[in-house]
Amino acid sequence: MTTTTPTRAGTDAPPTVAGRVRRRLNTRWATAASIVIAIVWTIPTFGLLVSSFRPEDQIKTTGWWTFFADPQLTLENYEQVLFGRSSSAGQLASYFLNSIVITLPSVLFPLAFAALAAYALAWINFRGRDWIYIGIFALQIVPLQMALVPLLSFFSQGVGVGGIELLPAWNLDDEQRFIQVWFAHTCFALPLGVFLLHNFVSQLPRDLMEAARVDGATHPRIFRTIVLPLITPALAAYGIFQFLWVWNDLLVALIFAGGGDETAPLTVRLAELAGTRGNEWQRLTSGAFVAIVVPLLVFLSLQRYFVRGLLAGSVKG
């Protein structure tokens, strides 16, 4: 999985700026610095990983590093997390599936809508576009919590003005509540999405666009045939962030999906595992790792899109 990138080192590497900076800097120092950063960054998570395999009383009384002097291994924490409730063993699988069902559309929709909006804001001339863009950008600051109540009442009570019902309540049950979750995630993701993608789309070479316009291509065609392929790496990058955000979200899920095994994602279940008084927190160590696995796989498998070199940059100029 780690071999998806060129690993050639040394003199025959293509001369990118950073590569050369790195080579010209005292290489030994550079290597040392990067190793130090990597270690510092990894240790806290590593400690958690080690802890997740230690017995409960050990976690609470000694540091995880003592594990190496006195290794006591147990899978009990994982057993509890994966098969915790005797009455409902295997439930985690169900929540896992919920997380996936929630995440996929919640990534696809904002990705598409933000890309369309970013294109329009960058390359279509219409009055007020800068103000719309700035407005969308500024919406990033609206705290999610303040948006929960109005959005929830939009779903559960519909929209009415002075007693006249403009939009009925949605009345979604069980699995249909996924729709609410997708809707909410899409709304909340758009400001950042439009901002990130606009930055990217607006840097595409003007000549390319104008040439296409002269050839008589319409905006939808330009968007599909020229812009989309060029911004794929940016889409992948934003897609990963949106994926991580949705996967790790607890707040939106608690409100819009509820806590049942029909719709609630993994995060809700894991939060529940801490027990009524937070007394079972040794389970959180293993729970955290169960939750990390998928995002990590996604990152590793999509990473090459970042690394491939952003096409948009290479056509510039």
Partner 1 sequence: MNFDFADEAPKLAMLLYGVVAFVVVVGGLLLLLDVVPTRLARRRQARLAAAVATGTPLEPGRRRSREGLFALFFLLPTVLLLGIGLVIPAIRTLVLSLKNGDSTQWVGLRNYGWMIDRPEIVDILRNTALWVLLVPLLATSVGLIYAVLVDRARLEALAKSLIFLPMAISFVGAGIIWKFVYAFRPAGADQIGLLNQIWVWLGGEPQQWLANPPLNTLLLIVVMIWIQAGFAMVVLSAAIKAIPTDMIEAARIDGVNAWQQFWRITLPGIRPALVVVVVTVSIATLKLFDIVRTMTNGNFDTNVIATELYNQAFRYGETGQGSALAVVLFILVIPIVIYQVRSLRRQREV
Partner 2 sequence: MAVFARPRQAFVMAGVLGLAVGATACGSDDGDNLSSDSPECAVYEPYQGNSGTEVSIYASIRDAEADLLERSWEQFADCTGIEIDYEGSGEFEAQLQVRVDGGNAPDISLIPQPGLVNRFAQAGKLKPASAETKAMAEENYAADWLQYSTVNGEFYGAPLGSNVKSFVWYSPKMFQEQGWSVPTSWDDLIKLSDQAAADGITPWCVGIESGDATGWPATDWIEDVLLRTQTPEVYDQWTTHAIPFNDPRVVDAVDRAGTILRNDTYVNGGYGGVKSIATTSFQEAGLPILQDECALHRQASFYANQWPAESELAEDGDIFAFYFPPVDPAKGKPVLGGGEFTVAFDDRPEVQAVQTYLASGEYANSRAKLGNWVSANTKLDLSNVANPIDRLSVELLQDEQTVFRFDGSDLMPAAVGAGTFWKEMVSWISGKETAAALTAIESSWPS
Q: In one letter, which amino acid is 270?
A: L
User: Structure tokens of 151?
Assistant: 């959005």
Task: Scan for tokens 């950063």, then name that residue.
Answer: 37
9 makes contact, choosing from partner 2, partner 1, none, with CB < 5 to 8 Å by partner type, with partner 1
- Each residue 204-243 as x (binds partner 1 by CB under 8 A) or -, in order, gives --------------xxxx-xx--------x---x---x--
| Site residues (CB under 8 A) for partner 1, limited to 272-291 | 281, 284, 288, 291
Q: What minimum distance in Å lies between the beta carbon of 96 and partner 1?
A: 10
Q: Which is nearer to partner 2, 229 or 275 (CB)?
A: 275
Q: For partner 1, which residue of 56, 78, 82, 94 counts as binding (CB under 8 A)?
A: 94
3-state secondary structure of 203: coil
Q: What minimum distance in Å lies between the beta carbon of 112 and partner 1?
A: 4
Residues in the chain: 317
Strand partners, 273: none
| Site residues (CB under 8 A) for partner 2, limited to 276-315 | 276-281
Instruction: Return left, alpha or beta for 207; rule: phi > 0 is left, psi -120 to 50 is alpha, else beta.
Output: alpha
- Please name which of 227, 232, 203 lies closest in space to residue 308, comparing C-alpha atoms: 232
Name the phi and psi angles at 235, rounded to 5.
Answer: -60, -40
- Please name which of 83, 75, 99, 90 lies closest in space to residue 282, comparing C-alpha atoms: 75
Q: How many residues of this chain bind partner 2 (CB under 8 A)? A: 37
Q: How far is CA 12 from CA 2, 85, 304, in A?
A: 20, 57, 21
Interaction between residue 79 and partner 2 (CB under 8 A): no
Interaction between residue 158 and partner 1 (CB under 8 A): no
Q: What minimum distance in Å lies between the beta carbon of 126 and partner 2?
A: 33
Q: How far is CA 261 from CA 94, 182, 265, in A?
A: 7, 17, 8
Interaction between residue 149 and partner 2 (CB under 8 A): yes
| Interatomic CA distance for residues 29 and 261, integer angstroms | 52
Interaction between residue 147 and partner 1 (CB under 8 A): yes
Q: For partner 1, which residue of 56, 78, 82, 154 counts as binding (CB under 8 A)?
A: 154
Interaction between residue 212 and partner 2 (CB under 8 A): no
Footprint of partner 2 on this chain (CB under 8 A)?
57, 60, 84-85, 87, 148-153, 155-157, 170, 172, 175-176, 179, 250, 254-255, 258-260, 268, 271-281
